[in-house]
């Protein structure tokens, strides 16, 4: 895509985050905070995307969580990891197809294959899925950082 798209969401009481439109987000947090969160999100995204691309990885999408501490807007969760983001290989990228990735999509794909209904409790993951996911995370680290985790 020519530029990133900012899509706000909010925590659901149960299940996954809920996407909301810009007007709903402004109603929840106010126009000034919304504009600041949007500006920071795009700045963070662009910085990670530029760095990742130099390492041969497409930083496809991510989530950033913000909150307040002592009245100050802060980033409150991990950023740019395989848990919060989707990373795709530049060399393997094929538009319009599912992408091989270095993130938790591997687990999601497995859960889809076995027909999990997304209701707790989640099924226990087989060892090969746990190992495969770990290998993807470690490969992302190696490519992005330039070294293996000792």
Q: What is the mean predicted confidence (pLDDT) over 23-43?
A: 97
Residue 56, number of CB atoms within 10 A of its CB: 12
Q: Taking 80 as the threshold, does the pLDDT of residue 48 lie above it? A: yes
More confident residue, 103 or 113: 113
- Kindly report the average pLDDT of the chain as a whole number: 93
Q: Taking the alpha carbons of 29, 48, 81, 98 in that order, is the dihedral positive or negative? A: positive
SS (H, E, C) the chain: CCCCCCCCEECCCCCCCEECCHHHHHHHHCHHHHHHHHHHHHHHHHHHHHHHHHCCEEEEEECCCEEEECCEEEECCCCCCCCCEEEEECCCCCCCCCCCECCCHHHHHHHHHCCCCCCCCCCCCCHHHHHHHHHHHHHHHHHHHCCCCC
Residue-wise pLDDT tens digits, 118-148: 888 999 999 999 999 999 999 999 999 999 9
Sketch out the chain's domains with CATH numbers: 9-145 (3.30.470.20)
> For residue 14, is pLDDT > 80?
no
In this prediction, residue 35 has a pLDDT band, given cuts at 50, 70 and 90, of: very high
Task: Read off the pTM.
Answer: 0.86
Provide the angle, in degrees to the nearest 10, between the axes of the packed helices 127-145 and 105-113. Answer: 160
- Residue 63 is encoded by which pair of tokens? 């989530």
């Amino acid at each position: 895509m020519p530029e990133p798209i900012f899509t706000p969401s909010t925590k659901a009481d149960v299940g996954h985050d809920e996407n909301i439109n810009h007007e709903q987000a402004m109603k929840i947090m106010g126009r000034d905070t919304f504009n600041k969160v949007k500006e920071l999100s795009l700045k963070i995204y662009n910085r990670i995307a530029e760095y990742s691309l130099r390492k041969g990885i497409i930083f496809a999408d991510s989530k950033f969580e913000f909150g307040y501490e002592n009245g100050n807007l802060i980033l409150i969760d991990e950023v740019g990891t395989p848990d919060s983001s989707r990373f795709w290989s530049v060399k393997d990228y094929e538009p319009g197809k599912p992408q091989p990735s270095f993130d938790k999509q591997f687990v999601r794909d497995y859960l889809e294959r076995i027909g999990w209904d997304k209701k707790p409790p989640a099924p226990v993951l087989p060892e090969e899925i746990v190992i495969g996911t770990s290998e993807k995370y470690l490969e992302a680290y190696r490519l992005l950082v330039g070294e293996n985790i000792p």
